[in-house]
Amino acid sequence: MTKIAGVLFDKDGTLLDYFKSWSPVNRKLALIAAEGDQALADSLLRATGMDPETGHVVADSLLAAGNTEEIAEGLVAAGSKLTAEQLVKDLDWLFAEAASNAVPVTDLESFFLRLRARGLKLGVASSDNELSIRRTAERFRFLSCLDYIAGYDTGYGCKPEPGMVLGFAQVTGLTPREILVVGDNSHDMMMGRNASAGLTIGVLTGTGTRETLGPLCDYCVSDITEIETII
């Protein structure tokens, strides 16, 4: 195996605890899409992957893995009276604001500093918007450790397409075989495979399970801290 020289992380469910960070946000986005109608909001949540009673989000559903445009289109298809264009604007704003209440899976500043000290190139590739990624990195003090940031709106395409990984390779001067892709859902693992990444690791701090991730990744671990022993 080629030596790993760069690590590309997903954000939600990977760097951030998905359920602690996003359950309240998902409820807010449904209410926005339902224009305050709670019954419709609950219906929209079910249609996009979340049980409004338990808060459970289905692995690889729209809320688990979709980008803002895909979620907006799904909400409209499920009954929202707003346009997809309006929802994209509203949700991108909501998601950027959500960084202020996000819950990290570990001390991200120390974690990224340890990886940086090993000489690794580091990036974040998310189905969220770029502003939300930057606000998250600023809040948890690891922005200066990043060589690369890609949101769905940055211009490298969307998961599970390979563009975000190939963009990371281009920016850092690495080959895809030197890159480790880390994520919590099938979109992340397939993005890595489609780009011929050297290694893919699934984490269990998001919506993915050993059953959904296992067949698609090289390793499945409890959280991102375990990758330090693998590489």
> Residue 2: what pLDDT?
73
Question: Does residue 113 sit in the same domain as residue 169?
Answer: yes
Residue 169 lies in a domain: yes
CATH code where residue 189 lies: 3.40.50.1000
Residue numbers of the chain with a pLDDT score lower than 70:
1
Question: Does residue 66 sit in the same domain as residue 109?
Answer: no
Question: Does residue 79 sit in the same domain as residue 151?
Answer: no
φ/ψ of residue 125, rounded to 5: -125, 115
Question: Does residue 110 sit in the same domain as residue 200?
Answer: yes
Cα distance between residue 188 and residue 128, in whole Å: 13
Q: What would the two tokens of residue 36 be?
A: 């305050």
CB 194 within 8 A of CB 177: no
Question: Does residue 129 sit in the same domain as residue 217?
Answer: yes
Question: Does residue 63 sit in the same domain as residue 162?
Answer: no
**Alpha carbons within 13 A on the beta-carbon side of 64:** 25
Please tell me the total number of residues recorded for the chain in this structure. 231
Starting at the edge strand found earlier in the chain, the sheet holding 219-221 runs: 148-150, 121-125, 6-9, 179-183, 199-203, 219-221
Residue 1 lies in a domain: no
Domain that holds residue 125: 6-17+103-230
Residue 82 lies in a domain: yes
Residue 72 lies in a domain: yes
> Residue 40: what pLDDT?
98
Question: Does residue 166 sit in the same domain as residue 218?
Answer: yes
- Select from 69, 101, 133 the last residue of a domain: 101
Residue 144 lies in a domain: yes
Question: Does residue 188 sit in the same domain as residue 130?
Answer: yes
Number of domains in the chain: 2
102-112: pLDDT as tens digits: 999 999 999 99
> Residue 147: what pLDDT?
98
Nearest C-alpha neighbor of 181 from the set 121, 119, 137: 121
Question: Does residue 76 sit in the same domain as residue 120?
Answer: no
Residue 77 lies in a domain: yes
Task: Look up tokens 């390779």; give the residue.
Answer: 169
Residue 86 lies in a domain: yes
Task: Look up tokens 């729209």; give the residue.
Answer: 62
CB 182 within 8 A of CB 10: yes
91-132: pLDDT as tens digits: 999 999 999 999 999 999 999 999 999 999 999 999 999 999
Cα distance between residue 69 and residue 29, in whole Å: 13
- Select from 44, 79, 101 the last residue of a domain: 101
Question: Does residue 115 sit in the same domain as residue 46?
Answer: no
> Residue 1: what pLDDT?
58
- Select from 81, 101, 121 the last residue of a domain: 101
CA distances from 48 to 17, 32, 78, 143, 184 (A): 19, 14, 8, 31, 18
Task: Look up tokens 């059953």; give the residue.
Answer: 211
- Considering the entire predicted model, what is its pTM? 0.92
Question: Does residue 10 sit in the same domain as residue 84?
Answer: no
Question: 62: which residues sit within 8 A by CB, 6+ positions away?
Answer: 48, 49, 70, 71, 74
Question: Does residue 110 sit in the same domain as residue 47?
Answer: no
